[in-house]
Amino acid sequence: MKTNTRIILICSGKGGVGKTTLTANLGIALARQGLKTAVLDADFGLRNLDLLLGLENRIVYTAQEVLEESCRLDQALVKHKKEPNLALLPAGNPRMLEWIKPDDMQRIASMLSEQFEYVLIDCPAGVEDGFKNAVSAAKEAIVVTNPEVSAVRDADRVIGLLNTHGISPVQLVLNRVRPKMIASQEMLSVDDVTDILSLPLLGLVLEDEQVIVSTNRGEPLTLNGTNSPAARCYSNIARRMQGEEIPLIDPSKEGSGIRDKFRRLMQTKIF
């Protein structure tokens, strides 16, 4: 077993904050850097990592058959056609929830770590069994949250649990950042969030309609090299994970168009 494989849990507590989207985009971005990367769908109840990656129709076997030893790991792994460094290990059917144990997740993770440099685990929402199974397989974690009080509260809860499980390092990704709303103080600022969570900030991801478009197409933004705001954010995060020092974006300097830039110019003149 390779010991230097980075097995990273992507979790949030709250649902719908962007875990699966982050997992898919980071998976692709890391693979594009030439790193052998596996993404593991641990959200057995609401699996949709396959969908976001556009791999749904190519699934033959899943983690379930691997655990039952009715197929080999490489038979279950779905390689991405455009990005062969990336493979998905799909979640089995939701009934897996009834019998899967932390041991099983650890077995899968250690099998994956023999062939891959990165294993990203898409964690289910909540802090119950699904979370506990997934966390038992991971070494590090990325906590995803949104600049909303309830998402931050749930993230805080999860960070406490990650600490008790001895997961380290734990880093933060703040998703769906809307510079305008922060500027008008309708949304928590980046500082508000890091002040409570006190975790190293791995990156910000801007709110971006392209995320939704790409989700529906089954082509993560990082795949086609677009330069949409969120795509840049995801690639930066992947590069930071590899130790590159890339400054964080400053939400107050991000505008969607020429009008914002003009307005900012006006503001700086006036004040």
Ligand X SMILES: Nc1ncnc2c1ncn2[C@@H]1O[C@H](COP(=O)(O)OP(=O)(O)O)[C@@H](O)[C@H]1O
In the complex, the residues that contact another protein under the rule CB under 8 A are: 127, 153-154, 156-157, 159-160, 163, 196, 198
Q: Which one of ligand X, Mg ion, another protein, none interacts with residue 205, CB within 5 to 8 A by kind?
A: ligand X
- Closest CA relative to residue 176, chosen from 201, 202, 223, 144: 144
Task: Answer whether 143's CB lies under 8 Å from 197's CB.
Answer: yes
Among 12, 20, 175, 222, binds Mg ion (CB under 5 A): 20
Binding flag, residue 175, Mg ion (CB under 5 A):
no
* Secondary element (H or E) of residue 118: strand 118-122
Which of 39, 193, 51, 185 is CA-nearest to residue 121?
A: 39
Nearest approach, Cβ of residue 65 and another protein (Å)? 36
CB of 131: closest distance to ligand X in angstroms?
12
Find the shortest distance in angstroms from Cβ 163 to another protein.
Answer: 8
Find the shortest distance in angstroms from Cβ 200 to Mg ion. 23
Q: Are 184 and 209 in contact (CB under 8 A)?
A: no
Residue number with CB closer to another protein (170 or 238): 170
- The residue to which tokens 């019998």 are assigned: 99
Q: What angle do CA 61, 21, 6 make, to 5 degrees?
A: 70
Per partner kind, with CB cut-offs from 5 to 8 A, the member of another protein, ligand X, Mg ion, none near residue 175 is ligand X
Contacts of 204 (CB under 8 A, 6+ apart): 173, 174, 175, 177, 190, 233, 248, 249, 251
- Using CB under 6 A, list all residues that contact ligand X: 12, 15-21, 175-176, 205, 207-208, 211-212, 215, 230
> Shortest approach of ligand X to residue 23 CB, angstroms?
8
Smaller CB separation from ligand X, 73 or 230 = 230
Smaller CB separation from ligand X, 19 or 80: 19
| Amino acid at residue number 232 | R
> What does 260 interact with, of ligand X, another protein, Mg ion, none (CB < 5 to 8 A by kind)?
none
Q: Which residues bind Mg ion (CB under 5 A)?
A: 19-20
